[in-house]
Amino acid sequence: MKKVLPVVLILIALVITAAIVIGIKRTKTVDWEESFDEKSNRPYGVSILYKELPKMFEDYKVRTVYHQPSSYLSANSEDGYGEHVAEGSYIIIGNSDYLTEDSVDELLKFVNNGNTLFISDYYYPQKLHDTLNLDVDYVLNEKDSISYESLAYIDIEEIAIDRNEGDNYFGKFDSINYTVLGHSKIDYKHVNFLQIPFGAGNIFLHTEPKAFTNYNLLKEDRYKYAEGILSYLPENHVYFDSYVKIQTGYDGDVEKESNLSWFLEQMSFRWAWYTALIFTVLFMIFNAKRRQRIIKIINPLQNTTVGFVKTVSNLYFETQDHKNLVHKKITYFLEKIRTDCNIDTSVLNEDFIKKLASKTGKKKEDVKKIIDFINWLKTKNEFFEDNLIKLNRHIEAFYTK
């Protein structure tokens, strides 16, 4: 035993060293998925903005909200059970399609009480469109992939946003009561930034969330544009709406505990973690052999079907076979619809959406969200973990609403 242990340890050290060298030299594929995740260092994450917010509002508290606004804001109201009364600016960068109607109502109530709501997204929840009487249109960029962004009352140069196939803009709004604060331009100018008075507060709507991503904040002087937009927000506390959503009710905790996955994304932490696990397992193996004989364990009969499904799922996940998992989730989801609702799922068009909404008793716009997202996924050849997470959220939201 004493002779074998040093050899095993040397082999493990060689394997770890080789893995680290290979990992360093390996060329990673850049993930251009627009997650707007405040913890993501990828090009279209918003980790840089997230880290800079406390400096921009240094005299005030910046809180990260991991819950739906409907539960968080109602709990932290004058009549709620939260730790404080929420007041200040509520910021949402992308992903506003996950806002429920109750959350939109709570946000509007929040603004009506004298606070501020800022949303930068391509589209907004339908209830917000209806309440504020506005529409968002889209213009395709037929020349190149560049659009030009400018602000109306702040003296900064026009900036270019590249990798932009088109522009979203406000095609309809109340030009008398709403203030135009910014434009985007491809062939001609479009309104893409509005200030909307609502009750005792204000709503700021912006249609180019990529301006706040890591890629654009680090490129040239584009950060001035994002800085100029946020300068319209009042000096007050900030509530940053997280990419991660806890679907259960608000329990009094604003901040979410740190996620181990972030550490595993960092190479040094990842290999330190793996090394610790390997040596822990080795210690347990050699210690167990030294102290007692092997005790025969008679296992009861197990449900092998469940075990098989778990094994296959883990295999796909560990091999990062996101494409296979996405296709399987879509297949199983459509199979359930065929079984439960007796609807043909071969063509996912507008008629299918109407039939499914009618059969399930769900709102047409909720059904349209998940079907449009599935149709979009079918056009992609490459998938990332964020695609799988977003698909899973759509499916869960479909069954829980």
What distance in Å separates the CA atoms of residue 334 and residue 180, rounded to the nearest whole number? Answer: 44
Cβ-based burial of 293 (10 A; exposed 0-12, middle 13-18, buried ≥19): exposed
Residue 283 within a domain: no
Strands 238-246 and 62-67, bridge-based pairing: parallel
Task: Note the pLDDT of residue 17.
Answer: 65
The structural domain count of the chain equals 2
Whether 157 and 88 share a structural domain: yes
Q: For the chain, what percent of residues have pLDDT higher than 70?
A: 80
CATH number at residue 126: 3.40.50
Whether 333 and 215 share a structural domain: no
Of 225, 257, 289, the last residue of a domain is 257
Residue 351 within a domain: yes
Residue 39 within a domain: no
Whether 313 and 245 share a structural domain: no
| pTM recorded for the entire structure | 0.60
Whether 146 and 245 share a structural domain: yes
What distance in Å separates the CA atoms of residue 192 and residue 168, rounded to the nearest whole number? Answer: 7
Q: Is the pLDDT of residue 67 over 80?
A: yes
DSSP per position, 31-98: -------TT--STT--HHHHHHHHHHTTTS-EEEEEE-HHHHHHHTSTTS-SSS---SEEEEES-GGG
24-33, 163-172, 280-289, 335-344: which is most confident: 163-172
Residue 277 within a domain: no
| Distance spanning both ends of the chain, measured CA to CA | 60
Residue 66 within a domain: yes
Whether 251 and 336 share a structural domain: no
- Kindly state the average pLDDT of the residues 130-154: 92
Whether 129 and 218 share a structural domain: yes
Whether 247 and 345 share a structural domain: no
Whether 114 and 221 share a structural domain: yes
Domain of residue 123: give its range: 47-257
**Amino acid letter, residue 34:** E
Residue 34 within a domain: no
Q: What is the 3-state secondary structure (H, E, C) of 317-372?
A: HHCCCHHHHHHHHHHHHHHHHHHHHCCCCCCCCHHHHHHHHHHHCCCHHHHHHHHH
Whether 198 and 319 share a structural domain: no
Residue 244 within a domain: yes
Helix (H, G, I), strand (E, B) or coil at 16: helix
Side by side, the strands of the sheet bearing 238-246 are 62-67, 238-246, 89-93, 116-120, 201-206, 189-198, 179-185, 147-151, 159-161
Residue 295's alpha-carbon distances to 284, 288, 289, 298, in angstroms, are: 15, 11, 11, 10
Residue 361 within a domain: yes
Of 238, 257, 276, the last residue of a domain is 257
What is the per-residue pLDDT across 288-345, written as a single tens digit (0 to 9) for each?
655 656 677 887 766 565 565 566 666 666 666 777 777 887 788 888 888 888 888 7
